[in-house]
Structure 1
Amino acid sequence: MEAEDPGNVLSEGAGIATCPTCEGGARVRYIGRLTANLTTAAAGRRTVTVTYQVKGDRSLMISINGAAPTTHRLSGTDWDTPRTFRYTATIPAGQVSMTFYNDTGPAPDIDKITIS
């Protein structure tokens, strides 16, 4: 799912920006909070893949359906090169709400979220 999908909720300053190197041609920047709404067919331990852009090091917190967040330290060399990270999470079947944020500083820009 594209981070800029109209079904997602952008808040606390988050906005959509054009991005020629991003899938779909856009990404979400200035993330205060980005809530991505996805649907999964089966519950269980699944791989979450996030495509992002960042220059330097930044942290990204991810909460699934309001649960305690996991924190991920991400890095990159510039704002034009998409990078990906993966982690394993327990995902319920059906509607899944993933909230991306950083309460301690700026978050990286988000391009795409995939659950597999």
Structure 2
Amino acid sequence: MMRVHATTAMPSRLATFILRAIEMTAFIPITIYLNHKPVVVASIADAKTALQQPWPVMGKPSRLEAIRMVDECLAGHCSQHAAIAAFQTAATEQGLLKRKPPSIGLKKFDRVAEDLM
């Protein structure tokens, strides 16, 4: 239930903050590439949808384990982190999780860090 200030009929800042906090994901979104198209996985529901798409090897044990873990998570029997870890493992094994090259800023930071060591 959202609290509304009596004179402005606007939601309180605390209520707005709480609603936004609830909407936040429990992990950093990842991008996989299915059929050479990027697919962002930002929730367990996204992972379930991505697992239902055609993968290079549909019967690979890691993919089947990811499907099981995502279903267990949706049923409330395992954590989101465990389900996403299984999903990432399956995507990595099938070459769907590609790392972006480091940004220019990160390269500069790495050089500075190396100089300090």
Q: Same fold (TM over 0.5)?
A: no
Structure index of larger Rg: 2
When the two structures are superposed, what TM-score results if normalisation uses the length of structure 2? 0.25
Which structure shows the bigger proportion of residues in strand conformation? Answer: 1
Which structure shows the bigger proportion of residues in helix conformation? Answer: 2
